[in-house]
């Protein structure tokens, strides 16, 4: 019973490039959450998705960031035209359909922008 | 304004000591979570609480809803307990404390 999978674990991008972060939720989980942990800061909520729906994106920066959770395949967090300030650890969590509160975290993707 | 405050920020203990980490929050919540983040970065959910007390091995978590306060206790601490412990409250989304960095010295 695999846990939440994230890939890549480490991603290096140059300023202006695009970053795509993938999250495969636990089997049977249809709710996905993305969090960002900036260096020396705590975790911050970014977005909450269900299959094919964005439920809450109040924590997402207004520009360059987007997220999706298609009917098939992993959830994707996409950052366009990355800047150095985007360097952070991005964590994904998932929860079962009927239990929004109980979340299981992935190992995170560490994005470094050069 | 931080919805969640943790203390202490950093904590060093000798192996075997009893450890307490505190979390205070300022709003009504549906649940409170304690998370553990190891030096490698991975996050593990330790407890989800909405009232009372929970125990798992050497870890005990308590919550006082009226006082909007929770504590995480570690009994007979061990160097492998060294990690960052994060309190999170569940409103419409998760709000996280800044974490308590625990180092247990052999």
Residue A49 exposure: Cα atoms within 13 Å on the Cβ side:
25
pLDDT in tens, B44-73: 889 999 899 999 999 999 999 999 999 999
A59 part of contact set with chain B, CB < 8 Å: yes
Instruction: Please list the ranges in chain B whose pLDDT falls under 70.
Output: 1
User: Is A105 in contact with B42 (Cβ distance < 8 A)?
Assistant: yes
pLDDT for A101 equals 63
A20: Cβ contacts below 8 Å, ≥ 6 apart? A76, A77, A78, A79
What does the angle CA B84 – CA B85 – CA B87 come to, to the nearest 5 degrees?
Answer: 140
Tell whether omega for the bond before A35 is within 30 degrees of 0, i.e. cis: no
User: Is B93 in contact with A102 (Cβ distance < 8 A)?
Assistant: no
pLDDT in tens, A42-93: 899 999 999 999 999 999 999 999 999 999 999 999 999 999 999 999 999 9
Q: Which residues of B7-23 are buried (b: 16+ CB within 10 A; e: fewer)?
A: eeeebebeeeeebebeb
């Amino acid at each position: 019973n695999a846990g939440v999978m994230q890939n890549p674990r480490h991603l290096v991008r140059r300023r202006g490039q695009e970053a795509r972060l993938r999250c495969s939720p636990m089997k049977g989980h249809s709710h996905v959450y993305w969090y960002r942990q900036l260096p020396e800061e705590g975790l911050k909520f970014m977005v909450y998705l269900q299959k094919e729906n964005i439920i809450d994106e109040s924590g997402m920066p207004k520009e360059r960031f987007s997220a999706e959770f298609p009917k098939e395949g992993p959830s994707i967090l996409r950052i366009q035209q990355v800047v150095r300030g985007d360097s952070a650890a991005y964590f994904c969590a998932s929860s079962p359909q009927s239990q929004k509160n109980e979340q299981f975290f992935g190992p995170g993707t560490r994005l470094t922008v050069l | 304004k931080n919805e969640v405050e943790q203390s202490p920020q950093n904590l060093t203990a000798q192996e075997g000591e009893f450890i307490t980490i505190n979390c205070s929050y300022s709003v009504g919540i549906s649940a409170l979570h304690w998370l553990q983040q190891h030096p490698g970065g991975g996050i593990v959910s330790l407890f989800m609480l909405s009232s009372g007390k929970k125990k798992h091995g050497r870890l005990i978590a308590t919550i006082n809803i009226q006082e909007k306060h929770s504590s995480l206790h570690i009994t007979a601490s061990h160097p492998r307990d060294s990690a960052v412990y994060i309190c999170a409250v569940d409103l419409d989304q998760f709000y996280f404390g800044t974490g308590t960095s625990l180092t247990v010295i052999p």
